[in-house]
Amino acid sequence: MLTIPKYEKKLREKSNDLKIDLIATPEMQKFFKELAETMFAANGLGLAAPQVARQIRVIAVNVAGLAHIFINPHITKKSLFKDIVEEGCLSVPGRYGKVKRPKKITMEYLDKTGQWHKQKFTGLTNRVIQHEIDHLDGLLFIDKLIK
């Protein structure tokens, strides 16, 4: 199990792409598993590597009770239509607020086997992915609160 530090200054730093040749290493495969386990243990919908003190572009997202690992995710398209939904964060406990985000995104990413994907996301999964990618870019949901 990994530790999720609260209010860490490191959360404000941009993460680096994970080198493709590291994806299949036993150490990285163990990290992917631990990231997902930590997300579920904390009752989270998502968890980004920077939230557990790793400055790499990796996120875990709970999709219908299954952990999906997205490596070097990159949003290539955002819908013009947006919605406003209340969010919280495991790294900012006790804080909640409304955030406006695109209703649909298209994202390119690598999976934990190193395979490239391009996929559209909507609904809650879409929102969680955007929230977690913000962590990779050094942003927190509290930076985007609707006043």
Residue 35 one-letter amino acid: L
Residue 68 annotated as binding? no
Task: Note if 132 is an active site residue.
Answer: yes
Determine the Cα–Cα distance for residues 75 and 105; give it in Å rounded to an integer: 7
Residue 131 annotated as binding? yes
Residue 74 annotated as binding? no
Tell me whether residue 121 is exposed, middle or buried, using C-beta atoms within 10 angstroms of its C-beta: 0 to 12, 13 to 18, 19 or more: buried
Residue 62 one-letter amino acid: N
8, 86, 108, 132: which one is catalytic?
132
Where do we find the tokens 């398209």?
Answer: 77
Task: Provide long-range contacts, Cβ within 8 A and 24+ apart, for 20-29.
Answer: 20/110, 20/114, 23/71, 23/110, 23/112, 23/113, 23/114, 24/113, 24/114, 29/112
Query: Can you say which residues are annotated as belonging to the binding site?
Result: 89, 131, 135
- Catalogue the active-site residues: 132
Query: Can you say which residues are annotated as belonging to the binding site for Fe cation?
Result: 89, 131, 135
